[in-house]
């Protein structure tokens, strides 16, 4: 079986998950080289997975058919453009850029180069979300009335990450906004509110750690998103869509399927982070990327989806700052 020769740039929190999946869980991909600005970190992952380490993206591009970019968001645009100019298929973590103009220019460069492009909205590849969305699309839920989703981290990432994350809506809520568009349809209006509650550093950065967003879809349906960086008890990602014929509820499953019963208590585990919550989705998104590139078919979630989610996240940010709802045409 032919395998896509993939190189990976960025070996931090998400990059290490991608490295393990590409090396061990993606039958259509072969991880042929990795790189990271931190040479020691790259050497550790290279030794663990028995994958060659190269010094930079240029060296990576000379040996691969496709690249996975999992570096900090501010670096994505330049790396994607370089990979596209070299004729390589690109998988890029979300968001493509912190700036709209750079997002548009980068996606135009990809288009011009004619290379496949996939953005890292992994939830679209989770077996539960994919099955639920297929049934909604098939009409089994009837008319959609209400979309609800929660995305909460147990604790916030390092301050160094936060200062270059693009802010809460662009870094966190963007996943929910993409999920909402994908499951229900286009969003025409958002209303967001936020607060910095868990740590004074959020306020110092002009950022928040807790948010509520309401959505109005083009269909007339309504939606609500709740997000937290500091939920304390664990990582939670769950979604519900209420329709005229059925309701689908995607729970937050425990990482292990046993419960511990003691007098007056019934305890089960809770995922601690996105890695524990999505053991399959991160592998599935890269397997789907490799398969689509090998088959010459467009990836399932591409540049237009990346830009639409970016615009929604920025609209949420504006809504929070201005204290009023924002229509997407505004």
Ligand X SMILES: NC(=O)c1ccc[n+]([C@@H]2O[C@H](COP(=O)([O-])OP(=O)(O)OC[C@H]3O[C@@H](n4cnc5c(N)ncnc54)[C@H](O)[C@@H]3O)[C@@H](O)[C@H]2O)c1
- Which residue, 7 or 116, has its beta carbon nearer to ligand X? 7
Residue choice 10, 194, 223, 271 for contact with ligand X (CB under 6 A): 10
Per the CB < 8 A criterion, the answer to whether 187 and 217 are in contact is: yes
Instruction: Output the smallest distance, CB 7 to ligand X, in A.
Output: 11
| φ and ψ at residue 228, rounded to 5 degrees | -145, 145
Kindly state the tokens that stand for 301: 């979630």
Nearer to ligand X, 115 or 309 (CB): 309
Interaction of residue 46 with ligand X, rule CB under 6 A: no
> Which CB sits closer to ligand X, 7 or 243?
7
Over the window 99 to 128, marking each residue x when it contacts ligand X by CB under 6 A and - when it does not, the resulting string is ---------------------x-x------
DSSP-assigned states of every residue in 232-286: SS--EEEEEEEESS-EEEE----SSS-EEEETTEEEE----SHHHH-TTHHHHHH
Residue of 21, 35, 118, 319 that binds ligand X (CB under 6 A): 35
The dihedral over CA atoms of 74, 275, 17, 68, expressed in degrees to the nearest 10, equals -40
Pair of tokens at residue 163: 């200062």
**Closer to ligand X by Cβ: residue 171 or 207:** 171
Note whether 12 binds ligand X by CB under 6 A: yes
Provide, rounded to whole angstroms, the least separation between the CB of residue 329 and ligand X: 27
| Min CB(260)–ligand X separation in Å | 29
Rounded Cα distance, 317 and 315, in Å: 5
Q: For ligand X, which is the closer residue by CB, 16 or 148?
A: 16
Give the interface segment with ligand X, choosing from 66-74, 140-148, 176-184, 243-251 (CB under 6 A): 66-74
Instruction: Look up residue 306 and give its two tokens.
Output: 């990346």
Q: Residue 166's closest CA among 99, 253, 76, 70?
A: 99
- Nearer CB in complex with ligand X: 147/274: 274
Q: Which residues of 66-89 are buried (b: 16+ CB within 10 A; e: fewer)?
A: bbbbbbbbebbbebbbbbbebebb
41 binds ligand X (CB under 6 A): yes
Output the smallest distance, CB 158 to ligand X, in A: 7
Q: ∠ CA(62), CA(93), CA(61), 5° rounding?
A: 5
DSSP string, 162-224: HTTS--HIIIIIHHHHHHHHHHT--EEEEEEEEE--S-HHHHHTT--SEEEEEEEETTS-EEE
Given 147, 274, 289, 320, the residue binding ligand X (CB under 6 A):
274
Q: Binder to ligand X among 4, 9, 136, 284 (CB under 6 A)?
A: 9
Rounded to whole angstroms, what are the CA distances from 210 to 126, 167, 215, 228, 318? 25, 12, 17, 4, 16
| Phi, psi of 286, deg, nearest 5 | -80, -35
Specify which residues 118 forms β-bridges with: 91
219/275 with CB nearer ligand X: 275
Does 11 contact ligand X by CB under 6 A?
Answer: yes
- Minimum Å distance from CB 126 to ligand X? 11
The pattern of x and - marking residues 166 through 195 that bind ligand X according to CB under 6 A reads: -----x------------------------
Q: How far is the CB of 107 from ligand X (least distance, A)?
A: 16
Residue placing its CB nearer to ligand X in the complex, 144 or 288: 288
- The token pair at 82 is 């370089």
Shorter beta-carbon distance to ligand X: residue 157 or 254:
157
Query: Residues in the site for ligand X, rule: CB under 6 A?
Result: 9-15, 35-38, 41, 70-73, 75, 93-94, 120, 122, 161, 171, 274
């Amino acid at each position: 079986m032919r395998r896509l020769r993939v190189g990976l740039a960025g070996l931090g929190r998400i990059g290490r998950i991608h490295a393990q999946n590409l090396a061990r869980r993606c039958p259509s991909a072969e991880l042929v080289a990795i790189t990271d600005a931190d040479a020691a970190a790259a050497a550790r992952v290279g030794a663990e997975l028995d994958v060659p380490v190269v010094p930079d993206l240029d060296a990576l591009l000379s040996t691969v058919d496709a690249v996975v970019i999992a570096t900090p968001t501010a670096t994505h645009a330049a790396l994607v453009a370089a990979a596209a100019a070299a004729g390589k298929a690109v998988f890029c973590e979300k968001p493509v850029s912190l700036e709209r103009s750079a997002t548009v220019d980068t996606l135009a460069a990809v288009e011009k180069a004619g290379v496949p492009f996939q953005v890292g909205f992994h939830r679209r590849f989770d077996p539960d979300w994919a099955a639920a969305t297929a049934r909604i699309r098939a009409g089994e839920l009837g008319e959609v009335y209400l979309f609800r989703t929660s995305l909460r981290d147990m604790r916030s990432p390092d301050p160094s990450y936060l200062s270059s994350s693009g802010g809460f809506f662009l870094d966190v809520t963007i996943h929910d906004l993409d999920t909402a568009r994908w499951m229900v349809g286009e969003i025409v209006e958002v209303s967001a509110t936020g607060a910095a509650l868990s740590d004074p550093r959020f306020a110092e950065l002009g950022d928040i750690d807790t948010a509520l967003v309401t959505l109005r879809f083009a269909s007339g349906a309504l939606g609500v998103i709740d997000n937290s960086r500091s939920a304390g008890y664990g990582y939670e990602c769950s979604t519900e869509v209420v329709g005229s014929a059925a309701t689908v509820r995607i729970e937050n499953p425990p990482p292990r399927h046993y419960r511990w019963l003691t007098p007056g208590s019934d305890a089960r585990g809770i995922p601690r982070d996105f890695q524990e919550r999505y053991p399959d989705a991160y592998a599935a998104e890269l397997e789907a990327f490799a398969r689509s590139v090998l088959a010459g078919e467009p990836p399932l979630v591409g540049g237009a989806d990346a830009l639409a989610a970016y615009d929604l996240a920025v609209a949420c940010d504006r809504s929070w700052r201005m204290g009023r709802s924002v229509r997407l045409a505004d």
